[in-house]
């Protein structure tokens, strides 16, 4: 099963009003903006969407609002993972019921299971839904790294384990994943700055933060590389690199929300324990936005 969600997946922020409640109207406005500016698929309730401070009911509320807003203009994914297998299975079923096109399922965090435990965890999820499953490997947040052999075993056993969001800067692992998994298993970069090098090693696309601001340029970079216009792709990478890095000058998504406030799309409000970025950081961010013409 190939995951048919396109090359540019935007991990959408969750807009909050001044009372830190979900702002569905802002979510709908933002989702439409993304669908019209290079985004192929929208991921709701990922890390950029502040999933750690959302209830499952809120995650589904945002999903329904976005689905209502964009219709068939973009594919929709829901972050349905958990460090509890039972919870992840339940959310995967709810995502399917809500009409998701795919789910993102993170490697269990904090309890640090073995590779055998990961196979059991994701096998239960795969059996619980017919949706394509994108694994999410992000050792910096979960404390463990899912190995290429583990991904290969899961992809061989379960047709709907169809992709991975690889948020690990070790590019050798991308080569190993590409070599060991089936041809229709897709590797997405989980870091904007690593999209281009991952494409060269067998990657397919990106689950992006910067696509909120530069979706068309990121899409053109991927298209250019795949069409053999490597110089053009590298030029776009160089142009956007300051933006990629500035969006992580503070914990994600605090710089991104500040940038989105600059262009009147979303308020910068974030839920604790996150805090908004400083005025000094905002000044630096504005300089980068002007430099890249992202705003």
Phi then psi for 153, rounded to 5 degrees? -65, -40
pLDDT digits 0-9 by tens, 179-207 = 999 999 999 999 999 999 999 999 999 99
> How confident is the model at residue 2, as a pLDDT?
80
> How confident is the model at residue 83, as a pLDDT?
97
- Decide if 136 is catalytic: yes
- Taking Cα atoms as reference points, which of 213, 294, 260, 262 lies closest to residue 16? 260
With beta carbons less than 8 A apart as the criterion, state whether 40 and 75 touch. Answer: yes
- Decide if 180 is catalytic: no
> How confident is the model at residue 295, as a pLDDT?
44
pLDDT digits 0-9 by tens, 55-75 = 999 999 999 999 999 999 999
Active site residue: 67, 75, 136, 188, which one? Answer: 136
Quick one: 232 exposed, middle or buried, by C-beta within 10 A (0-12, 13-18, 19+)? middle
The domains of the chain, with CATH numbers, are 8-225 (3.20.20.70)
> How confident is the model at residue 1, as a pLDDT?
63
> How confident is the model at residue 292, as a pLDDT?
78
Which regions in the chain score pLDDT beneath 70? 1, 293-295
Write the DSSP assignment of the chain as a string of letters: ----S-SEEEE----B-TTS-B-HHHHHHHHHHHHTTT-SEEEESSTTTTGGGS-HHHHHHHHHHHHHHHTTSSEEEEE---SSHHHHHHHHHHHHHHT-SEEEEEPPPSS---HHHHHHHHHHHHHH-SS-EEEEE-HHHHSS---HHHHHHHHHH-TTEEEEEE--S-HHHHHHHHHHS-TT-EEEESSGGGHHHHHHTT--EEEESTHHHHHHHHHHHHHHHHTT-HHHHHHHHHHHHHHHHHTTSSSTTHHHHHHHHHTTSS-----TT--PPPHHHHHHHHHHHHHHT--
Active site residue: 67, 75, 165, 219, which one? Answer: 165
């Amino acid at each position: 099963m190939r995951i048919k969600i396109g090359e540019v997946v935007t991990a959408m922020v969750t807009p909050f009003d001044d009372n830190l409640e979900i702002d569905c109207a802002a979510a709908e406005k933002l989702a439409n903006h993304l669908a019209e500016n290079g985004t192929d698929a929208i991921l709701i309730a990922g890390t950029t969407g502040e999933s750690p401070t959302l209830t499952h009911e809120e995650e589904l509320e945002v999903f329904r609002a976005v689905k209502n807003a964009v219709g068939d203009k973009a594919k929709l994914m829901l972050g349905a993972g958990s460090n509890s297998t039972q919870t992840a299975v339940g959310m995967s079923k709810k995502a399917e019921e809500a009409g998701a096109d795919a789910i993102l399922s993170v490697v269990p965090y904090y309890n640090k299971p073995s590779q055998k435990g990961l196979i059991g965890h994701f096998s239960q999820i795969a059996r619980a839904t017919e949706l394509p499953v994108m694994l999410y490997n992000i050792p910096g947040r979960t404390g463990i790294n899912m190995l290429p052999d583990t991904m290969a075993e899961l992809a061989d056993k379960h047709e709907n384990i169809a992709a991975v969001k690889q948020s690990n800067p070790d590019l050798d692992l991308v080569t190993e994943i590409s070599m060991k998994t089936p041809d229709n298993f897709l590797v997405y970069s989980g870091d904007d700055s690593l999209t281009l090098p991952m494409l060269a090693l067998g990657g397919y696309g990106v689950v992006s933060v910067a696509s909120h601001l530069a979706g068309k340029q990121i899409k053109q970079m991927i298209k250019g590389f795949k069409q053999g216009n490597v110089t053009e792709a590298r030029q776009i990478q160089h142009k956007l690199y300051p933006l990629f890095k500035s969006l992580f000058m503070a914990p994600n998504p605090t710089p991104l929300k500040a940038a989105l406030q600059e262009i009147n799309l979303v308020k910068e409000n974030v839920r604790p324990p996150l805090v908004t970025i400083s005025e000094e950081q905002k000044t630096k961010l504005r300089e980068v936005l002007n430099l890249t013409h992202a705003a």
